[in-house]
Amino acid sequence: MPEQIEVAPSAIEATYKAREVEGVIDVYFYRKIGFRIAHWFAQRNVGPTAVTLLGGVFGIVAGHLYYYRDLGTNIVGMALHVWANALDNADGQLARLTGRGSRNGRIIDSLVDHLIFLNIYVHLALRCLRDGAPATVCLLALVAGISHALQGAAADYYRHAYLHFVGVRTQAQFDSTALLRSRYRELEWRRQPWNKFLLALYLNFTWQQEMLAPKLNKLREVLDQLYPRELPEWLKARYAASARRMFKWWGFLMTNTRMIVLFLVLFLGRPVWYFWIELTVLNVLLIVLLFHQNKMSESLLKLATGARDQIGIRS
């Protein structure tokens, strides 16, 4: 038992995507809790998708509890939301711990995450309406929700780009629309409706990511052509040095930051402020980060193009 209580850091880190792309709160809180949850479910032969769906239930209930003006009720919702996020960490850790990860599982995980926050946005908007806000608050919530989706998609894309270029490519989730579209055409609605539906969602999500990061997408095409198996160490080091400086800022566009902001506005009794923070502060941060990341990708693309010319590979 003692060795189960004091889990070796290396055992927990083995369930990370990569230490560099993990946020501070994730490393020191959610990943530690998530590892124990994942280990508990693994012992009972529960799959990652079941954990994902369980987390979704907690998250949906939490969103409903944010509708009420009673702070005590909101705090119960916050506790459920934290638990939902712990399960969201645990499902991926469970997949890596047991080797039961799959593309469908990742798509369902992303879908559940979006449904949780969609539910939160709807309940916050309804709360604002009940408190006397004009009907335009619904438009505000809609635009904030779209902003949320774009911010999360961009942050997720750049994080997985790092895993693809610097880490082990088989562990990265850095699919391209070209490959996904080819796979989508192979599936038949009659025989595999569920798989085709999930892939349609994922294809659309990946397309949005590529539209947000055209330079990075081009960089991936060139580097995958030049180095189909693995990048040379000098290029890995160059990419890592450039990308790591931005990770802490991309972290502000991920779930933990939104939860902190959400909890603060609920404590203050000003849920509409959450929408405005999404539209202003987080969108400005997204624009700045996309600008810098595109410049970084462009610089690396010039290096890669120079290497391609030297090797004699034509575009």
Residues 6+ apart with CB under 8 A from 85: 30, 55, 59, 255, 256, 259
* 120 is a domain residue: no
Percent of the chain clearing pLDDT 70 (strictly above) = 90
Closest among 168, 192, 164, 167 to 176, alpha carbons compared? 164
How far apart, in Å, are the Cα atoms of 141 and each of 114, 137, 138, 146? 14, 6, 5, 9
Q: What pLDDT shows up at residue 211?
A: 93
Q: Do 97 and 148 belong together in one domain? A: no
Final residue belonging to a domain, choices 88, 105, 122: 105
* 187 is a domain residue: yes
Q: What pLDDT shows up at residue 13?
A: 66
Q: Do 211 and 83 belong together in one domain? A: no
Q: Do 170 and 312 belong together in one domain? A: yes
Closest among 200, 226, 198 to 307, alpha carbons compared? 226
* 180 is a domain residue: yes
Q: Quote the crossing angle between the two packed helices 103-130 and 71-98, to the nearest 10°.
A: 170
Q: What are phi and psi of 263, to 5 degrees?
A: -65, -40
Q: Do 197 and 271 belong together in one domain? A: yes
Q: How many residues are there in the chain?
A: 315
Q: Which token pair is 51?
A: 């954990």
Q: Do 230 and 181 belong together in one domain? A: yes
Q: Do 62 and 160 belong together in one domain? A: no
CA triplet 267, 53, 13: central angle to 5 degrees? 80
Q: What pLDDT shows up at residue 6?
A: 45
CA triplet 64, 68, 71: central angle to 5 degrees? 115
What count of Cα atoms within 13 Å lies in the side-chain half-sphere of residue 165?
A: 31
The boundaries of the domain holding residue 30 are 1-105
* 192 is a domain residue: yes
Per-residue pLDDT, averaged over 50-68, amounts to 97
* 193 is a domain residue: yes
Q: Which token pair is 66?
A: 């944010």
Closest among 132, 174, 170 to 156, alpha carbons compared? 174
How far apart, in Å, are the Cα atoms of 302 and each of 82, 115, 315? 43, 40, 13
* 123 is a domain residue: no
Q: Do 178 and 292 belong together in one domain? A: yes
Separation of alpha carbons 138 and 147, rounded Å: 14
**Is the pLDDT score of 293 beyond 70?**
yes
Q: What pLDDT shows up at residue 2?
A: 36
Separation of alpha carbons 275 and 153, rounded Å: 18
Confidence of residue 171 (pLDDT cuts 50, 70, 90): low
* 127 is a domain residue: no
* 126 is a domain residue: no
Residues 6+ apart with CB under 8 A from 63: 77, 81, 116, 117, 119, 120, 122, 123
Separation of alpha carbons 56 and 109, rounded Å: 9
Q: Do 178 and 303 belong together in one domain? A: yes
Per-residue pLDDT of 251-285, as tens digits, reads 899 999 999 999 999 999 999 999 999 999 999 99
Q: Is 124 exposed, middle or buried (0-12, 13-18, 19+ CB in 10 A)?
A: buried
Q: Do 169 and 219 belong together in one domain? A: yes
pTM of the model: 0.88
**Is the pLDDT score of 221 beyond 80?**
yes
Report the number of distinct structural domains present in the chain.
2
Separation of alpha carbons 309 and 315, rounded Å: 9
Final residue belonging to a domain, choices 105, 126, 144: 105
Q: Do 149 and 228 belong together in one domain? A: yes
**Is the pLDDT score of 172 beyond 50?**
yes
Per-residue pLDDT of 300-314, as tens digits, reads 888 877 765 665 544
130 CA to centre of own chain: 32
